[in-house]
C-alpha cells in the first residue's frame, strides 16, 4: 500500500512542478487556477497523512510558515564582482581593444539585458536547491534561502540536472504589473506606497515571515552559472543547458560576433525596453568563450571579460535651494545640493552630489538656479547642468566653504587634489565616527553588533575617540546608552574581542590609511609581513614594491610620521590585534619565485587557473596577463593560443607545463 501512496505523491509533485514551470517560466497556462489548487491540496493532504514521505523539495514546501529572526551571514565560495560601466560605442570599442591584447583569435560576445533587481547566488547540489545568498558586499551576503524558495519560477528540484553541483546567479525582480497591483492595494488600505520595484524586491528578501514573501509576485531571472570545471565551452551554451533544466533564463540573450552587432543590440533594446514587463537599465556584454573568460580573469573590482552598457538616464529639472557640505572619514569635503523634491527613476530625489569646487565653478551652479539632475551610473543623483534662461537676476556666484562645517577648522586643498579637506582628523566628529565605522566594517574588522548609530552614540558619550578605544570598552560602560539592552552590550564586547582573530591584511585595511584599499593592503601585508616593517619603510622602499605608486607611498609615510597614529597602532598591539602575518600564512609562503613573472595560458587539469595564480603569488612571483620581454615563464595548458606560443618562442621565454610548474615549487 505504502509503495502506491509514495508513487501517487511523487506523480502529484511532478505534475505540479510541470504546471508551475509552464506558468511561471514559459508563461503558458496549462491548467485552471482551481484545478491547480485542488492538485496542491490533494498533495498536502497525502503528505500530512504520510509524513514518512516528506521531501523538502516538494512544491508544498515553498511556503512552510518559516520565520527567520536573523539572517546568517555567509561567505561566498566565489566572489560576486561588480561590473565596469560603459556609456558609448567608443567605450565598448576601448574595452574590446583591452581584451584583444590578452586573448587571441576571434571573440564572440553575449548580450543580455541588465535587469534592475536584487542580485542572488543560489547553490544546487544533486539537483536540489540548498542555499540562496544575497550579493551583500560581494565577499559575503545574507542567507535568504527560506524566502527565495517561495519564488515559483525558481525550481526547488531539477528533474534533469545539467550539472551535479553548481552555483547559479540571477536577479530577483518584481514585475511592473505586480508592483503596481501591490501599490494599488496599499493605497486602498491607506498605507504608503512603495517607491520602486527594485527596492521592494530587495526588501522582500529580508522579510522575517516567508508566508508574506510568498504573497509578493517576485520573479528570478538567471544570468550566470558558476562551476569549478565543466564540459561546456561557452557562456551561452551553459545558460542554454540551465534553461532546459528548468531555470528562467531570459530568451532575449543574443550571441554577437562583433562590437558592431553588440551595439545594434544595445540600440534596439534602448527603444524596446519600455515595453518590457520588468525594469531594465542597460545591457551586460560578456566574452562568450569560458576559456577566454578564464584567461582574461579579473581586476580588483570587476571581471575583464564583462562590461555593462548603461542606457541614457532620465533627467529632470528642479530648484537648488541650498548648498551644504559633508565631511567624510578621510576629511574629504563633499558639497551637496539640497533640491526641491523631484521624481527621478521611480524615487523622490531631494539631494544630489556637487562633487567638488571645480565642478561648481565649471557649471557656475548657484543657489536659486533651476538645475538638471540625473542618476546616470551613480547611486547618488548628480547635477549635470543649469537652466540659465531661468536664472533669477538677483543670483549670486557660489563661494566655496573655507571652514569645516563640523569643527570650523580651516580647509586645505593640496595641489593636484580635486577635493578640499579638513585637517582635524583626530577630533572632527564625522572623521572620528567615520574612521571607526570603517574599522568595524565587514571588509575590515567585521565587528558584529556595532553599527553607525551605536558608534556615534559611543563617541558622543565620550566612551570612544578612536578605534583603539573600542578594545577598552566594558559591558558596564555600554549598558547605560540609549536603547541598549544587556544582550546587545554583550554582543558588542564579544564582537570586539573576536575581531582580534582578524588577519593582518584586513587589519591593515581597517586602519584607514588613505589610498590603501583591500588589494593594496594584501600586497603590503604580504611584502612587509608586519606593521613595524611597513611603518619603518622609506618612500623609496615603498615604491620599489610591485604596484605601489607615489601616492600610496606618500600616504603611508605621512601616516607613519604622525605620532598619534603610532600610539593607536601600539594600543592595538597591546590589545592583541593581529598586526603581523600568522605563522600558518608565513608557512605557506616563500620567496622561491621572487623576481619571476609568469603568464598563465590555456586549460589546466590538476589546478584551476586561480589556484595556479595563487601558488605563484604565495611564493613571491608575479602574474601578468600578457607576454613581454620581462616575462620569465609561460605556463602552457591545453588549447593555449598559437600566437601566444609563437610570441613566447620568439622572445626566448621558457615555456613550461603544469607538471613542470608543480615540480618547480617542489
DSSP E strand boundaries for 270-400: 280-287, 306-310, 315-327, 333-344, 347-353, 370-374, 382-386
Q: Name the residue among 660, 657, 634, 661 with its Cα closest to residue 646.
A: 634
pLDDT of residue 528: 93
Q: Which residues contact 584 (CB under 8 A, 6 or more apart)?
A: none
Domains of the chain, CATH where assigned: 2-62 (1.10.287.610), 85-310 (3.30.470.30), 313-423 (2.40.50.140), 429-501 (1.10.150.20), 504-587 (1.10.150.20), 597-665 (3.40.50.10190)
Is-contact 238 281, C-beta < 8 A? Answer: no
- Is position 149 annotated as part of the catalytic site? no
| The CA-based dihedral angle spanning residues 313, 319, 323, 328, taken in that order and rounded to the nearest 10 degrees | -30
Give the Cα separation of 115 and 218 in Å (integer).
13
Q: Centre a 10 Å sphere on the Cβ of residue 383 and count the other Cβ atoms it contains.
A: 22
Axis-axis angle for helices 33-49, 2-24 (nearest 10): 150
Ordered mean pLDDT values, 10 residues apiece, the chain (666 residues): 74 81 68 76 82 78 60 89 90 94 91 93 95 91 92 90 94 92 81 80 87 91 91 95 95 95 94 87 95 87 93 87 93 94 81 91 94 71 90 92 96 88 94 94 88 89 96 95 89 95 96 90 91 96 87 95 96 97 79 89 84 87 86 89 85 93 88
pLDDT of residue 1: 45
Catalytic residue among 114, 248, 375, 419: 114
Cα–Cα distances in angstroms (integers) from residue 381 to residues 315, 324, 340, 353, 391, in the given order: 10, 15, 13, 7, 22
Each residue of 536-546: pLDDT tens digit?
A: 999 999 998 87
CA 259 from chain center: how many Å? 26
Is-contact 440 450, C-beta < 8 A? Answer: yes
Give the Cα separation of 116 and 276 in Å (integer).
12
pLDDT of residue 345: 65
Q: Which residues contact 276 (CB under 8 A, 6 or more apart)?
A: 113
Q: Which residues contact 442 (CB under 8 A, 6 or more apart)?
A: 136, 137, 139, 140
Give the Cα separation of 381 and 351 in Å (integer).
7
Tell me which H or E stretch contains 520.
helix 518-528
Q: Centre a 10 Å sphere on the Cβ of residue 139 and count the other Cβ atoms it contains.
A: 14
pTM over 0.85: no
- What sign results for the dihedral spanned by CA atoms 173, 178, 182, 183? positive
Place of cell 546616470: 376
Amino acid at each position: 500500500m505504502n509503495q502506491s501512496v509514495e508513487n501517487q505523491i511523487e506523480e502529484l509533485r511532478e505534475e505540479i512542478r510541470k504546471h508551475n514551470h509552464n506558468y511561471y517560466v514559459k508563461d503558458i497556462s496549462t491548467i485552471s487556477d482551481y484545478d491547480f489548487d485542488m492538485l496542491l491540496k490533494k498533495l498536502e493532504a497525502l503528505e500530512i497523512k504520510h509524513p514518512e514521505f516528506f521531501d523538502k523539495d516538494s512544491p508544498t514546501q515553498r511556503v512552510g510558515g518559516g520565520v527567520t529572526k536573523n539572517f546568517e551571514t555567509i561567505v561566498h565560495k566565489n566572489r560576486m564582482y561588480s561590473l565596469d560601466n560603459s556609456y558609448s560605442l567608443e567605450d565598448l570599442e576601448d574595452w574590446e581593444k583591452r581584451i584583444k591584447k590578452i586573448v587571441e583569435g576571434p571573440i564572440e560576445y553575449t548580450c543580455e539585458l541588465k535587469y534592475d533587481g536584487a542580485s542572488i547566488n543560489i547553490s544546487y547540489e544533486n539537483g536540489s536547491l540548498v542555499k540562496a545568498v544575497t550579493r551583500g558586499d560581494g565577499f559575503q551576503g545574507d542567507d535568504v534561502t527560506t524566502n527565495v524558495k517561495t519564488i515559483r519560477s525558481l525550481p526547488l528540484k531539477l528533474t534533469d540536472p545539467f550539472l551535479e553541483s553548481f552555483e547559479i546567479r540571477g536577479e530577483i525582480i518584481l514585475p511592473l504589473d505586480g508592483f503596481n497591483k501591490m501599490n494599488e492595494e496599499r493605497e486602498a488600505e491607506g498605507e504608503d506606497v512603495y517607491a520602486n520595484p527594485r527596492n521592494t524586491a530587495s526588501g522582500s528578501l529580508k522579510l522575517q515571515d516567508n508566508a508574506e514573501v510568498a504573497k509578493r509576485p517576485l520573479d528570478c531571472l538567471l544570468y550566470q552559472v558558476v562551476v569549478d570545471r565543466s564540459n561546456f565551452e561557452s557562456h551561452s551554451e551553459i545558460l542554454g543547458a540551465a534553461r532546459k533544466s528548468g531555470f528562467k533564463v531570459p530568451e532575449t540573450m543574443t550571441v554577437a560576433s562583433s562590437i558592431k552587432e553588440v551595439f545594434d543590440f544595445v540600440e534596439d533594446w534602448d527603444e524596446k525596453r519600455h515595453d518590457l514587463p520588468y525594469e531594465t537599465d542597460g545591457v551586460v556584454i560578456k566574452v562568450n568563450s569560458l576559456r577566454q573568460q578564464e584567461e582574461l580573469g579579473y581586476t580588483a573590482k570587476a571581471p575583464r571579460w564583462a562590461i555593462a552598457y548603461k542606457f541614457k538616464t532620465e533627467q529632470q529639472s528642479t530648484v537648488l535651494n541650498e548648498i551644504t557640505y559633508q565631511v567624510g572619514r578621510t576629511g574629504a569635503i563633499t558639497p551637496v545640493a539640497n533640491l526641491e523634491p523631484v521624481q527621478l527613476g521611480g524615487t523622490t530625489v531631494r539631494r544630489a552630489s556637487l562633487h567638488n569646487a571645480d565642478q561648481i565653478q565649471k557649471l557656475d551652479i548657484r543657489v536659486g538656479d533651476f538645475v538638471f539632475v540625473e542618476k546616470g551610473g551613480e547611486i547618488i543623483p548628480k547635477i549635470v547642468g543649469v537652466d540659465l534662461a531661468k536664472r533669477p537676476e538677483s543670483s549670486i556666484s557660489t563661494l566655496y566653504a573655507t571652514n569645516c562645517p563640523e569643527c570650523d577648522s580651516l580647509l586645505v586643498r593640496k595641489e593636484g587634489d580635486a577635493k578640499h579637506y579638513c585637517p582635524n582628523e583626530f577630533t572632527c566628529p564625522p572623521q572620528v565616527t567615520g574612521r571607526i565605522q570603517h574599522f568595524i566594517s565587514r571588509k575590515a574588522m567585521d565587528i558584529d553588533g556595532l553599527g553607525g548609530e551605536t558608534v556615534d552614540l559611543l563617541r558622543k558619550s565620550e566612551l570612544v575617540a578612536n578605534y583603539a578605544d573600542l578594545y577598552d570598552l566594558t559591558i558596564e560602560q555600554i549598558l547605560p546608552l540609549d536603547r541598549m539592552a544587556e544582550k546587545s552590550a554583550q554582543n558588542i564586547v564579544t564582537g570586539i574581542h573576536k575581531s582580534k582573530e582578524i588577519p593582518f591584511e584586513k587589519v591593515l585595511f581597517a586602519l584607514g590609511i588613505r589610498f590603501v584599499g583591500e588589494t593594496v593592503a594584501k600586497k603590503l601585508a604580504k611584502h612587509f609581513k608586519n606593521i613595524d616593517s611597513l611603518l619603518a619603510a622609506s618612500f623609496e622602499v615603498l615604491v620599489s614594491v610591485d604596484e605601489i605608486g607615489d601616492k600610496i607611498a606618500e600616504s603611508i609615510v605621512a601616516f607613519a610620521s604622525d605620532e598619534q597614529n603610532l600610539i593607536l597602532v601600539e594600543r592595538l598591539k597591546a590589545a592583541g590585534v593581529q598586526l603581523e602575518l600568522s605563522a600558518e600564512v608565513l608557512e605557506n609562503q616563500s620567496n622561491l619565485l621572487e623576481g619571476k613573472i609568469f603568464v598563465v595560458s590555456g586549460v589546466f587539469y590538476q589546478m584551476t587557473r586561480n589556484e595556479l595564480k595563487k601558488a605563484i603569488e604565495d611564493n613571491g612571483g608575479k602574474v601578468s596577463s600578457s607576454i613581454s620581454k620581462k616575462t620569465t615563464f609561460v605556463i602552457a595548458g591545453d588549447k593555449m593560443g598559437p600566437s601566444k606560443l609563437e610570441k613566447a618562442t620568439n622572445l626566448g621565454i621558457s615555456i613550461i607545463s603544469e607538471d613542470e610548474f608543480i615540480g618547480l615549487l617542489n
